[in-house]
Amino acid sequence: MDWPRIRTDFPILDQQVHGHPLVYFDNAASSQKPRSVIEALVHYYQCDNANVHRGLHELSMRATDAFEAVRGKVARLIGAAREEEIVFTRGTTESVNLVAQIWAQQFLKAGDVILLTGMEHHSNLVPWQLAAKRSGAVLKHIPVLEDGTLDLSTLDSLMTEQVKVFSCVHISNSLGTMNPVRELCARARAVGAMTLIDGAQAVGHVPVDVQAIGCDFYAFSGHKMCAPTGIGALYGRYALLESMDPWHGGGEMINRVTLETSDYKAPPARFEAGTPDIAGVIGLGAAIDYLNSIGIAAIEARCAELTKLAYTRMSELPGIRLLGPESPRGALVAFALECAHPHDLVEFANTQGLALRGGHHCTQPLMKRFKVPGTSRASFYFYNTEAEVERMMDILHQAVTFFS
């Protein structure tokens, strides 16, 4: 694979920050966008812009065709059985909230158990806390071991008939841990629990097959996989989506409306009230085309190479603590330096043109579990280079000298 050429598809990477070449290692927060995605947005607004679905004029039909074609692209990317199982949302957060509100309000009752893990992003924790509060259900968590993996020895006692919801993160944004989601969903299915996987760090990074995983729902965000911000999707097994009440009421999600009552469209339209983010969806489609043109397996292998190099080189730094298992891991390394608070380190790195992220990474309970106020995180995508990893190491060595 010609990675140097692929890198040139990302014009933003070719710039100086504070007098140094930009090294962008904040991909787990949001990835950069290739030219083809940016051009797809411009093309839509310059040539096809119109509202979707109801229009009988040329532009609306073009916009509708472009918009709806993306549903199939998403379905194929994540192995859904049919494209009607894809609901467009603003991203992972909105997808989880949809399920934690609508599914939970219909099917959860007092005393039921919602089983999560100790490494969930707040997006897959707070919505369930709200659902528990509303329903009287009880929240439980699979603990995280010192090595950053889940303590699966607790499953026999935790995965009981009382568990009605099991939800967990596919790849942890704070540890890099790749959870055994297929095995966990099988265990959850065996006790009759509904399953939802948070795939924010997985889709576009590793091959994802929702049918092989065997989950009921799968949530992800476009902006972490080369698509624009504000767009993502919820996969839902069709029978489950069909059994659910609508979420937002409004245009597009109804068949017939009287002054008193309405009846609702079948999924996915039932969950997509109002004018959607048409450009965002089209941008998501362009991102999927782009990623497929490289190949998800090649992207996974490239990210694994960069991550391995970074992990090995970083483990040589004096006074560093690396969190999460060495391997397998997602494309990130989170760490704590004895000599510097993460915020100070990230500010120092910024003065050298290096974009890291420091803080709790929306996983405050996990930071408490590891007894750190926060961590610094370097996260990679396929357009990063070995030379950038070496540049980060220079900067981290400078930081150790500066702060010690």
**Residues noted as catalytic:** 362
With CB under 6 A as the rule, give the number of residues binding ligand PLP.
Answer: 13
Out of 48, 85, 112, 198, the only residue in the binding site for ligand PLP (CB under 6 A) is 198
Distance CA 393, CA 316 (A): 10
Quick one: which segment of 85-93, 143-151, 347-355, 377-385 binds ligand PLP (CB under 6 A)? 85-93
Q: Which is nearer to ligand PLP, 64 or 177 (CB)?
A: 177
Do residues 103 and 127 make contact, with C-beta atoms less than 8 angstroms apart?
Answer: no
State the Rg of the chain over Cα.
Answer: 22
Of 33 and 121, CB closest to ligand PLP:
121
Q: Does 85 bind ligand PLP (CB under 6 A)?
A: no
Tokens found for residue 94: 């909105």
Nearest to 292 by CA among 88, 34, 95: 34
Using CB under 6 A as the criterion, what x/- string covers residues 144-173 for binding ligand PLP? -------------------------x---x
Smallest separation, CB 69 to ligand PLP (Å): 23
Say whether residue 92 binds ligand PLP (CB under 6 A): yes
Residues 307-326, interacting with ligand PLP (CB under 6 A): none
User: Counting contacts by CB under 6 A, is residue 375 touching ligand PLP?
Assistant: no
User: Binding segment for ligand PLP among 142-150, 196-204, 266-274, 280-288 (CB under 6 A)?
Assistant: 196-204
Give dist(CA 344, CA 340) in Å, integer. Answer: 6
Q: Are strands 354-355 and 20-21 parallel, antiparallel or unpaired?
A: unpaired
183-307-298 Cα angle (round to 5): 70
The answer to the question of residue 121 lying near ligand PLP (CB under 6 A) is yes
Q: Using alpha carbons only, what angle is made at residue 246 by residues 244 and 247, rounded to the nearest 5 degrees?
A: 115
First and final C-alpha spacing in the chain: 41
Say if CB 150 and CB 122 are below 8 A apart: no
d(CA 233, CA 283): 13
32 binds ligand PLP (CB under 6 A): no
In the DSSP assignment, the letter for residue 84 is G
Task: Give the binding range for ligand PLP (CB under 6 A) out of 195-203, 210-218, 294-302, 371-379.
Answer: 195-203
The neighbour count for residue 320, using CB atoms within 10 Å, is 17
Quick one: 9 or 198, whose CB is closer to ligand PLP?
198
Q: Does 200 bind ligand PLP (CB under 6 A)?
A: yes
**Where does this chain touch ligand PLP (CB under 6 A) — which range of 80-88, 132-140, 194-202, 341-349?**
194-202
Instruction: Please report which residue ranges of 125-267 form alpha helices under DSSP H.
Output: 126-135, 155-158, 181-190, 210-213, 238-242
Q: How far is CA 163 from CA 105, 108, 119, 183, 318, in A?
A: 16, 10, 18, 16, 44
Nearer to ligand PLP, 73 or 170 (CB): 170
Interaction between residue 86 and ligand PLP (CB under 6 A): no
Among 201, 307, 375, 376, binds ligand PLP (CB under 6 A): 201
Binding site for ligand PLP (CB under 6 A): 29, 91-93, 121, 123-124, 169, 173, 198, 200-201, 221
